[in-house]
Structure 1
Amino acid sequence: MRWWPAGTAAAASSHRQRAPPGTTNGRSPIRTHRRCSWREAHDAARGAMIVRDVMSANVVAIDPDMPIRDVTALMELRRVRHFPILEDDEEVRGRLVGIVSDRDLRAVGSSHPSGRPDVRVHDPVRHIMATPVATAHPDDPIEDAAKRLRERRVGALPVLDGDVLIGIVSAPDLLDALARSAGASEPSSRIEVEVPNRPGSLAALLRSLAGRGLNVSSVTTTRSEPDVVCFAIRVDSIDGPGVATGLVREGWSVLWPDVDTPTRTPQGDRSAVGEAS
């Protein structure tokens, strides 16, 4: 079954009346997917943030035969940067076949090396859509989705549950989520510490922070070598230099923030780490 943009001769002669773009009372070259009750299946406690937590569920999808100029106008109206493109086939109504970005639209008629001087604004958007499409599953960890964005060099991933489009997740969505998961959205400080790469080193460091009444909101490995490992730790204190100075005085090797104290002792002299391991 083919969808025709409203207002064209083909739409007028079709046996079905097409609704105006953006409406839901009838068939339209635009499909708006509204938020579903996925939280009902998302009750259990989880430690990791996943794509369904950060995706936009109110995603607008368009037909591959929609003229490029109409796509450009709709993108400006909706204030979005990506449109998934759906097409009916014999098995699936609304199969994802492509995606178009604002960058793709700007390249139309351009003489830039990456432009498309052979395409005109009255041509269907299928001429410039990206296919095959890099996608995400709603239960993918956000770091996996971010890695896929980077590897494919795209700005957004349509989110599919089976063959059904249920949302879209963009690079800003994932950056915001990663910042929140790292604790950067709350008043805090980042401390980077190098410890021996052996069991118990991180536990001893966390005990030291807890002994100072500090809560740790995130721990990230920034470097790992056979002998040492570096951890970026976010603590609930705005006095990062003060925390770092205290750790250095206990013998910890603090890489950031840089503090200078004459009482620093080599980390290898600490007995607590050895006892913890």
Structure 2
Amino acid sequence: MKRNDPISHRMSRNVITAHHGDPISKVRALVRQHGVHHIPVVNADQLVGIISWTDILRVSFGDAFHTDERAVDATLDHTLSLEQVMEKSPVTLAETGTVREAAELLAGGTFHALPIVSGTKLVGIVTTTDLIKYLLDQF
């Protein structure tokens, strides 16, 4: 196994993002449309947070009771802002980082996605699933 493989070889570059100020209903729609569980939040191209499907489920009790999607969206949009639900200080990794560094950060945290940045500019994302696939490629 290559211990110093650059994370830039494993990260997703075409990142689905939400924008500062978007309603939570838009984030819910992005999750459903693209099948992702973690969405970085940007202001222009600068990373300002990250929101996960778990974060959304925590505040949308309607999902647990199979309530109409539109009712859940309307309630969330009128009750909470994206900024109130997202993680405002996500752990990140520089695009010059390694797969090993990403694995260490993900193994030590309670999160499953790591935004990859160049300064404060979002350039990619890597998830625990990406790292499992990397491990499988080694065998």
TM-score by length of 1: 0.42
Matches within 5 A, 1:177-188: 177-180=134-137, 183-184=138-139
Give distance in 2, aligned partners of 1:130 and 1:74: 17
- The aligned residue for residue 134 of structure 1 is 91
Question: Which of these residues, 41, 51, 69, is aligned with residue 85 of structure 1?
Answer: 41
Give distance in 1, aligned partners of 2:87 and 2:15: 17
Percent of aligned pairs with the same amino acid: 28
Deviation by residue 1:239-265 (Cα, 9 ceiling, x = unmatched): xxxxxxxxxxxxxxxxxxxxxxxxxxx
In structure 2, the CA distance between the partners of 1:78 and 1:153, relative to structure 1 (3 Å rule), is same
Deviation by residue 1:78-135 (Cα, 9 ceiling, x = unmatched): 1111111112xxxxx43211100111111114399xxxxxxx4113211100121111
Bigger share in helix: 2
Give distance in 2, aligned partners of 1:82 and 1:47: 26
In structure 2, the gaps of 5 or more residues are 65-74
Aligned residues: 125
Give distance in 2, aligned partners of 1:110 and 1:133: 24
User: Matched residue of 1:60: which SS?
Assistant: coil
Deviation (angstroms), 1:160: 0.3
- The aligned residue for residue 55 of structure 2 is 104
Deviation (angstroms), 1:144: 1.2
RCO greater where, 1 or 2, for CA within 8 Å and sep 6 or more? 2
**Structure whose CA Rg is larger:** 1
In structure 2, the CA distance between the partners of 1:139 and 1:121, relative to structure 1 (3 Å rule), is same
Give distance in 1, aligned partners of 2:112 and 2:46: 21
Give distance in 1, aligned partners of 2:106 and 2:123: 18
Letter in 1 for 2:92: T
Letter in 2 for 1:178: L
Question: Are 1:60 and 2:16 an aligned pair?
Answer: yes
Give distance in 2, aligned partners of 1:79 and 1:165: 20
Deviation (angstroms), 1:47: 7.1
Letter in 1 for 2:76: V
| Segments of 4+ moved more than 2 angstroms | 109-112
User: Matched residue of 1:107: which SS?
Assistant: helix
Give distance in 2, aligned partners of 1:101 and 1:70: 13
Question: Which of these residues, 71, 76, 84, is aligned with residue 27 of structure 2?
Answer: 71
In structure 1, the gaps of 5 or more residues are 1-45, 88-92, 113-119, 185-277
Letter in 2 for 1:121: L
